[in-house]
Amino acid sequence: MTTTTRVELDRVTIRFAGDSGDGMQLTGTQFTNTSAIVGNDLATFPDFPAEIRAPAGTLPGVSSFQVQIGETDIYTPGDDPDVLVAMNPAALKVNLPVIPKGSTVIVDTASFTRRNLEKAGYDANPLEDGSLEGYHLIEVDLTKLTLNALEGLELDNKAKTRCKNFCALGMMYWMYTRPLEPTKEWIERKFARKAILAEANKLALQAGYNYANTADLMASSFEVKPAQIAPGIYRSISGNQALALGLVAASKQVGLPIFLGTYPITPASDILHELSKYKEYGVITFQAEDEIAAVCAAIGASYGGGLGMTSTSGPGMALKSEAIGLAVKTELPLVIVNVQRAGPSTGMPTKTEQSDLLQSLFARNGESPLCVISCSRPTDCFDVAREATEIAVRFMTPVILLSDGFIANGTGPWKIPDPDALPQIDIHRPSDPEDFKPYQRAEDTLARAWAIPGMPGFEHRIGGLEGQNETGNVSYDPKNHETMSLLRAEKIQRIAQFIPEQEVVGPESGDLLVVSWGGTYGSVYSAVLQAQREGKSVAHAHVRYISPLPRNLGELLQRYKRILVPELNLGQLSKLLQYTYGIKVETLNKIQGQPFKVREIKSTIDALLA
């Protein structure tokens, strides 16, 4: 055992990278879950290749998982990794440009063969040509170490080699003072019916830990102490998982079953997978033959008295647009989850973007107003899903819930709420069949009553053709059409009286206000905090409600000399703010399929205030 010292860190960022088949997502997830059990705050960024199965060892096939853990509040997965674990040359080449000098780079030397170097585009071995000078390079033959640890097990070498990701994980557990037990318990559950595979992975995990403990790899091991968080029961949760649980909780609050009509599409498919686990809670999941059938089935579920929901990404939203207009016209509650990805068309399915905002607001024929609400981080998705459902039911309207690939696949520690403390969601049912008019509206919300088939005396006409005010009978009268269009628009605007006013973090007036929405929250918030610590006159407003916008937002924007809107698009929210409030907005746009780094936003803040 080496005589290493232990160094305390307040935070650290680690990236695992390798082929899609190297188990990097699993490795990163296990490190994340163990860190959550230890009590660290954390944020993750799984980055998948767009190719379903790129050739092994090639640059397009590199998969990575980045996690930042800390004893202080963590809002992003980190700008640059402090440690890179590269399982092959391609993983090293793709990721090295973002690894600062002085960082630790751990490589599996067994993978640096001539063939693998050629596939990664290397003319010379980077482990030998000096290109890694300035990094703390740790060369480990993970394949040999794993095979030696598994010697005697009745598995072929190919099956044994697949365990080397756990060998790398064991090394990282020693380096950052993580316990092995949670992962060993997970392995036993995962391979409960394959005892030999469970034994192999546990042996590989222990071998990596022992190797790091005994070999002269580093002068120090590191410890990140638990974060100071509010007491409660926590779990590590992804955005898609939290969103699914929020929908289930909302169904219990309103007392109706969920019907999810959907079609698989990256990165939204996990919502279907997750909701399908909750049949005992009245959840019905329906995988339709296409996107149009999926949303139409969800509308039918709401017409029949259930909670109709559908999930998709940008390309699916384009296909659903006519049916969403039908839900606007019939004024039925419908939750539409759009987990955004890079476009246009098929685009980059596994990469994140915020480019569906204007599509969500305007991409339907006719005047088709509806509510648009957005998530900000994985643990926020639970509450936003409940809010979207409540607005849909209270105002009898479709609600588009915007997430994105960064939020959907990222994880964070989530405090499990008390189910009994969640408020009930009331349904406005008609009560008097004598005076019943299907489009007679409540005074405060302008929502019509939700009458469903099987309620005697409340039979009514419903459909896509324009309906007469109050009766719903088909009407081609020009004045009536204008009246109905104005009523539907006013109903959406009245949601602004239901949602909270916009808040700011920082001074209530000053030189600069940074406005964010969606998955840019963590990077923007972190950058603004840094600027505030330097004494700069800057505040942060994160907009959750986009249609309608918060009722005080226009007045709030006028208090600041300059407005900055960072977006993962070419300026969609900025256009909306300028058009709505007649103000000038500074933009910071990025469309690379990657989230903002904190320093990108901080440098823009500094430049604007210089």
Give the model confidence (pLDDT) of 320-334 as tens digits. 999 999 999 999 999
Same domain for 90 and 149? yes
Q: Is residue 425 assigned to a domain?
A: no
The DSSP letter of residue 82 is S
| CB distance 431 to 482 below 8 Å | no
Does residue 2 surpass a pLDDT of 70? no
Q: Which pair of tokens denotes residue 337?
A: 């989850």
- Residue count of the chain, please give it: 610
Same domain for 185 and 211? yes
Kindly tell me the sign of the dihedral angle through the C-alpha atoms of 36, 38, 42, 45.
Answer: negative
Where among 189, 224, 259 does a domain terminate? 224
Same domain for 220 and 240? no
Q: For 402-456, what is each residue's pLDDT tens digit?
A: 999 999 999 999 999 999 999 999 999 999 999 999 999 999 999 999 999 999 9
Q: Is residue 494 assigned to a domain?
A: no
| CB distance 333 to 392 below 8 Å | yes
Give the pLDDT band (50/70/90) at residue 489: very high
Our measurement of the distance from residue 504's CA atom to the centroid of its chain's CA atoms, rounded to an integer in Å, reads 23
Q: Which pair of tokens denotes residue 418?
A: 């008390």
Distance CA 597, CA 586 (A): 18
Give the pLDDT band (50/70/90) at residue 496: very high
Q: Which pair of tokens denotes residue 397?
A: 């309207």
Q: Is residue 77 assigned to a domain?
A: yes
Same domain for 209 and 349? no
Residue 545 domain boundaries: 510-609
Same domain for 68 and 100? yes
Q: Is residue 443 assigned to a domain?
A: no
Distance CA 36, CA 171 (A): 18
Kindly tell me the sign of the dihedral angle through the C-alpha atoms of 272, 273, 276, 281.
Answer: negative
Same domain for 215 and 248? no
Cα 282 to Cα 345, 420, 445, distances in angstroms: 35, 18, 29
Angle subtended at Cα 121 by Cα 115 and Cα 125, rounded to the nearest 5 degrees: 65
Rounded to an integer, the average pLDDT of 463-476 is: 96
Where among 195, 224, 253 does a domain terminate? 224
Task: Write the CATH number for 165.
Answer: 3.40.920.10
Same domain for 207 and 252? no
Task: Write the CATH number for 304.
Answer: 3.40.50.970
Same domain for 161 and 259? no
Q: Is residue 23 assigned to a domain?
A: yes
Where among 366, 386, 418 does a domain terminate? 418
Distance CA 107, CA 90 (A): 11
Cβ neighbours of residue 379 closer than 8 Å, sequence gap 6 or more: 237, 242, 412, 413, 414, 415
| Least trusted range by pLDDT, from 55-59, 204-208, 379-383 | 55-59
Same domain for 206 and 263? no
Same domain for 61 and 207? yes
Q: Is residue 423 assigned to a domain?
A: no
User: Could you tell me which of 543, 601, 550 has the C-alpha nearest to residue 375?
Assistant: 543
Q: Is residue 188 assigned to a domain?
A: yes
Q: Which pair of tokens denotes residue 45?
A: 């960024």
Distance CA 533, CA 519 (A): 23
Distance CA 516, CA 500 (A): 17
Same domain for 205 and 256? no
Give the pLDDT band (50/70/90) at residue 20: confident
pTM of the complete model beyond 0.75:
yes
Task: Write the CATH number for 517.
Answer: 3.40.50.920
Q: Which pair of tokens denotes residue 139?
A: 């060369």
Residue 490 carries which side chain, given as an amino acid letter? Answer: E
What is the number of structural domains in the chain? 3
User: Could you tell me which of 477, 466, 490 has the C-alpha nearest to residue 548?
Assistant: 490
Q: What is the pLDDT of residue 1?
A: 46
Cα 244 to Cα 49, 248, 285, 385, 606, distances in angstroms: 24, 6, 12, 8, 39
Q: Is residue 28 assigned to a domain?
A: yes
Same domain for 219 and 241? no
Rounded to an integer, the average pLDDT of 216-235 is: 86
Does residue 3 surpass a pLDDT of 70? no
